[in-house]
Amino acid sequence: MNILSPSILAADFCRLGEQIKEVEAGGADHLHFDVMDGLFVPSISFGMPVLSSIRRNTELFLDVHLMIEKPERYIEEFARCGADLINFHIESTEDVEGTIQKIRNLGKKVGITVKPATPAEAVEPYLDLVDMILVMTVEPGFGGQKLLPHCLEKVSAIRKMADVRRCSLDIEVDGGIDRDNILHAIQAGANVIVAGSAVFRGNVSDNVKALLERMREKTVCS
Ligand code: DX5
Ligand code: ZN
């Protein structure tokens, strides 16, 4: 199933509650939550208190993307604050398997994430252990960047690996996705699409509807 996961990194934080309602009105059912620590990536975003507030105010599926060093330190807290799925970067920890297990033990869905320079083969040992692979299509750290086309080749390579193993994996893409390139990402094999600027610049619910419409076009054609 194809899913749209709007990234609140691009939201107007003074109007966050209202904008989340607009995301719901547009028909999306996931929300992407980017956590940055100023170490793994240069910028700092937001963390647990914001996640808890959102959790109290929405039923949307909360897809948390940790861009932090040693994410294993904070898994319990993000789970407690309401994450439904926790994505962490395989480049950010020496204990990928232990971190996957920690998330599973808390009853949450697990995703592992790769930066643009990390090859597809790096995720191969974990394909049977996770629910999702998140393929970054920009360098993590900032919204509003342009999609790096070579990352979509990696999406195709990972989709092939998963198909060979008959593994029904979600593949998420994140960064620089808009109405023009969203179908390229789906065609490459992604089924969960993050969009920040393409959702929150302009009318939020109209943008969500337009992106969902584009995603359906592909579903009808295929
Ligand atoms: C970047 C974040 C993205 C970002 C996407 O590090 O992981 O989720 O918000 O924003 P856009 O869609 O504007 O590239
Ligand atoms: Zn993200």
pLDDT over 70, % of the chain: 98
Q: Could you state, in order of their start, the residue ranges of all structural domains in the chain?
A: 3-215
pTM: 0.97
pLDDT at position 220, please?
Answer: 61
Q: Which CATH superfamily does the domain covering 3-215 fall into?
A: Aldolase class I (3.20.20.70)
Of 174, 90, 98, residue with least CA distance to 134: 174
Residues with CB under 6 A from ligand 1: 7, 9-10, 32, 34, 65, 138, 140-141, 143-145, 174-177, 194-198
- Ligand number nearest CA of 115 is 1
Tell me, yes or no, if 131 is annotated catalytic: no
Burial readout 65-89 (b: 16 or more C-beta within 10 A, e: otherwise) = bbbbebbbebbeebbebbbbbbbbb
Output the average pLDDT for the chain: 97
Distances (CA, A) of 22 to 35, 61, 196: 22, 15, 14
33 CA from centroid of ligand 2 (Å): 7
- Ligand number nearest CA of 143 is 1
Tell me, yes or no, if 163 is annotated catalytic: no
Catalytic residue among 37, 63, 170, 174: 174
**Ligand 2 (ion): which residues have CB within 5 A?**
34, 65, 174
Q: What are phi and psi of 149, to 5 degrees?
A: -60, -30
> What is the tens place of the pLDDT at every residue in 67-103?
999 999 999 999 999 999 999 999 999 999 999 999 9
The average pLDDT across 54-79 equals: 98
End-to-end Cα, the chain, rounded Å:
13
pLDDT at position 114, please?
Answer: 98
34 CA from centroid of ligand 2 (Å): 5
